Structure 1
Amino acid sequence: MNLRQHFLAGQVMPAHPLALDRNRKFSEKHQRALTRYQLASGVGGLAVAVHSTQFEIREPQHGLLRPVLELAAETARVELAASPRDVALIAGICGKTPQATAEAELAKSFGYHAGLVSMAAFKTEPESEIIAHIRAIGQIIPVVGFYLQPAVGGRVFSYAFWRQFAEIPEVIAIKIAPFNRYQTIDVVRAITAAGRDDLALYTGNDDTIVTDLLTPFVFAQDGRVVTRRIIGGLLGHWGVWTHAAVNLFQRIKIAREKSSVDASWFSLANAVTDMNAALFDSANKFHGCIPGILEVLRRQGLIETNYCLNPHEVLSPGQAEELTRVCAAYPELIDDDFVAQHRDHWLR
């Protein structure tokens, strides 16, 4: 697989949730089923050990980083051997440089193709220190940058930071997820100014998925007009209703080749955002984000519980009802029938 070309082609890359049983223990059976489900849905990548997989997997009392990474990679290899195609395995990488480089080495040892690097550990450090951090990780594994929204632990970065970031040769893509249009444009403009046509832009803005994927970003650069696009998505939202997301993305790829976008896409964009509000619990500052994802999968029978490693992470009051509402309101954006048809096979 040519990794850069694979990213540049535009892919659906869901974040991988974590399956816990009724005793709040890791369920390998259900975790395998989640990997099989996402692969059967037609995704072009899997992001493992990221926010949706729960950062707590790294804590010593759980010790789940290695088994989660290994199980996803092993399951993917078996499934793809039976039905070969290109799928990028992306490992979440966290912490300061010693921890992050160790995680990058671990991911590489299991056959992961790239690392999605969280910069949340750098709360107040100068941006130059973070650039050095990314360079160090890039010596081990290709890097997918990650602009994380401040509401869930990220920080705001300058245009100059992203301009420097784009000059790191080992960066193959950037997940743009500040949930902020000004900051989103900063990243796209910086990559354009750097002339990095080989660097893929992916949306992580779960509040504006469809709009991001349909928008041409047009800038004047060196006396010419340059258009860049956010070419695909690496999203927590796509960890559920994944088959429907792949179908929607294929329609988007066709629509953005046209000279104008039909107005119906704006209504659909709002529908996806409405669904995300319920899923990610935006009304309660995203407190129920991970339980919301797990609740959808639990209702579909893919996992046993909506439990998190942190027992205090639970659905917010009214969130379950909101999930019921959006599923009923937008049946074309869910994939319950697809899951029901294949669930027993995935749970074998």
Structure 2
Amino acid sequence: MGVGLGASRRCYLEQTYALPRTRGEVLVSETRKTLTSEQITALHDGLVIPAHPLALDENRKLDVRHQRALTRYYIASGAGGIAVGVHSTQFEIRDPGIRLFEPVLRLAAEEVDNAGLQKPFIRVAGVCGPTEQALEEAEIAAALGYDAVLLSMGGLTDWSETEILKRAQTIAEFMPVIGFYLQPSVGGRIFSFDFWRAFADIPNVVAIKIAPFNRYQTIDVVRAVCYSVRRDDIALYTGNDDNIVNDLLTTYRFIVEGVEVEKRIVGGLLGHWAVWTRKAVELLERIKQCRRNSLLDAEWLTLNAQITDSNAAIFDPVHQYAGCIPGIHEVLRRQGLLQGTWCLKAEETLSSGQAEEITRVCQDYPHLNDDEFVQSRLQEWLAET
């Protein structure tokens, strides 16, 4: 629900953090990439955007066949986008001795092009590191046809909030930015309400992935966006794999300058949705119908707990998420979408008891998996082209 903007809310970005609204010639409109109107509409309606894993063979080399198959699976499942080069793709793809960032982004982009989709689809590239590195990665992504970047703020522990905002502004001057609030336990940090309010004010920030795995910090981001002059321009996406359904069903309501403002988390950009993606698409559609009908059955709370229990088996929080990526791989391996659970770091393997936990949740919640769908199309996705 939009309201008029009071003078006290204008240019909060500049007032609080003294950030410039321009940065030389980079701000020339011809050089800034933006989303199409159709993509913006789809983004705000809510999309399933899986965080794309990395397929490796037993020698820890890129498995092109299965990498392509994964992208085909996400497209066929009805996902509204993919996020490549993110945590689930393994940050080590950027290492000088590995150099898989560009090849992996290219493979996914080719499969999206080959699919000939008739609906909006958003290609998201993860970018990270200091400003120069993040901008270089954004340039690679843009050249490959990516639509937006998921801007990681991990690894910048000695940067001030002002410096991180300036970095975000620089990237947004080049292409659309999706902000990323990452939980501290896997390399993120806590940001203030004022930071997120200023972040939301940055032109060409199109969405924020909220993934602190913490209810207080989740509310901080939603409330901050509601206070921003750009609140209607920003789509909120859950990255809270531990609370997916509740995030998507909640209407957040705040009083801003005496006026009631509402905001929803409309979709998800999730590592959990890298598996059982067809069911995730069906889930989001059911949630949208529930929103339209304003009917909320208590069974939704049970379903949220079941999905969270499944995520615990896959993401391995009992071992501080050490088996998170191998857990995703194990589910995909069992379906035939990957050959194994190998990661670029040899020590990154399933934790003790994790495989048994994955078996348990698969048996306890068979309605959450899409095994039948995968088996009906697997050979098609694995076909060489």
TM-score range, shorter chain: over 0.9
Q: Does 1:197 align with 2:195?
A: no
What does residue 54 of structure 2 align with? 18
CA RMSD of superposed structures (Å)? 0.8
Map 1:114-129 → 2, pairs under 5 A? 114-129=148-163
What does residue 15 of structure 2 align with? none
Among 33, 36, 41, which residue is 2:72 paired with?
Answer: 36
Deviations 1:106-163 (A, max 9, x none): 0000000000000112103110000000011011110000000000000000000001
Among 113, 116, 123, which residue is 2:147 paired with?
Answer: 113
In 2, are the aligned partners of 1:163 and 1:190 still within 8 Å (CA)?
yes
Deviations 1:303-343 (A, max 9, x none): 11100000010000000000000011111110011000000
Q: Does the residue aligned with 2:102 lie in a helix, a strand or coil? A: helix
Q: CA shift at 1:221, angstroms?
A: 1.5
Among 236, 248, 259, which residue is 1:224 paired with?
Answer: 259
Aligned amino acid, residue 201 of structure 1: L
Q: Does 1:340 align with 2:372?
A: no
What does residue 106 of structure 2 align with? 70
Deviations 1:206-238 (A, max 9, x none): 000000000110111122211110010000000
TM-score (norm 1): 0.98
Aligned amino acid, residue 109 of structure 2: A
Q: Does the residue aligned with 1:111 lie in a helix, a strand or coil? A: coil
Q: Does 1:242 align with 2:284?
A: no
| Distance across 2 between alignment mates of 1:256 and 1:180 | 23
Q: Does the residue aligned with 1:316 lie in a helix, a strand or coil? A: coil
Q: CA shift at 1:245, angstroms?
A: 0.7
Aligned amino acid, residue 65 of structure 2: K
Among 250, 265, 274, which residue is 2:300 paired with?
Answer: 265
Q: Does the residue aligned with 1:270 lie in a helix, a strand or coil? A: helix
What does residue 321 of structure 1 align with? 356
What does residue 102 of structure 1 align with? 136
What does residue 90 of structure 1 align with? 124
Q: CA shift at 1:260, angstroms?
A: 3.9
What does residue 163 of structure 1 align with? 197
Q: CA shift at 1:37, angstroms?
A: 0.2
| Distance across 1 between alignment mates of 2:45 and 2:295 | 21
In 2, are the aligned partners of 1:4 and 1:199 still within 8 Å (CA)?
no
Q: Does the residue aligned with 2:153 lie in a helix, a strand or coil? A: coil
Q: Does the residue aligned with 1:324 lie in a helix, a strand or coil? A: helix
| Distance across 1 between alignment mates of 2:237 and 2:285 | 15
Deviations 1:72-129 (A, max 9, x none): 00111101x1x42211000000100010000000000000000000011210311000
Q: CA shift at 1:4, angstroms?
A: 2.2
| Distance across 1 between alignment mates of 2:254 and 2:158 | 31
Q: Give unmatched runs, 5+ long, in structure 2.
A: 1-35
In 2, are the aligned partners of 1:92 and 1:118 still within 8 Å (CA)?
yes
Deviations 1:28-63 (A, max 9, x none): 100000000000000001000000000000001111
Bigger shift: residues 83-92 or 107-116: 83-92
What does residue 320 of structure 2 align with? 285
| Distance across 2 between alignment mates of 1:118 and 1:107 | 15
Q: Does the residue aligned with 2:236 lie in a helix, a strand or coil? A: strand
| Distance across 2 between alignment mates of 1:121 and 1:329 | 38
Q: CA shift at 1:273, angstroms?
A: 0.2
Q: Does the residue aligned with 2:213 lie in a helix, a strand or coil? A: coil
In 2, are the aligned partners of 1:93 and 1:104 still within 8 Å (CA)?
yes
TM-score (norm 2): 0.89
Q: Give unmatched runs, 5+ long, in structure 1.
A: none
Q: CA shift at 1:261, angstroms?
A: 1.1
In 2, are the aligned partners of 1:280 and 1:286 still within 8 Å (CA)?
yes
What does residue 144 of structure 1 align with? 178
Q: Does the residue aligned with 1:256 lie in a helix, a strand or coil? A: helix
4+ residue stretches of structure 1 with deviation over 3 A? none
| Distance across 2 between alignment mates of 1:166 and 1:327 | 39
Q: Does 1:187 align with 2:221?
A: yes
| Distance across 2 between alignment mates of 1:332 and 1:85 | 27
Aligned amino acid, residue 297 of structure 1: L
| Distance across 2 between alignment mates of 1:52 and 1:147 | 15
What does residue 32 of structure 2 align with? none
| Distance across 2 between alignment mates of 1:255 and 1:130 | 38
| Distance across 2 between alignment mates of 1:275 and 1:186 | 27
Q: Does the residue aligned with 1:69 lie in a helix, a strand or coil? A: helix
Aligned amino acid, residue 308 of structure 1: C
| Distance across 2 between alignment mates of 1:124 and 1:66 | 28
What does residue 48 of structure 1 align with? 84
Q: Does the residue aligned with 1:187 lie in a helix, a strand or coil? A: helix
| Greater Cα radius of gyration, structure 1 or 2 | 2
| Distance across 2 between alignment mates of 1:258 and 1:92 | 35
Q: Does the residue aligned with 2:292 lie in a helix, a strand or coil? A: coil
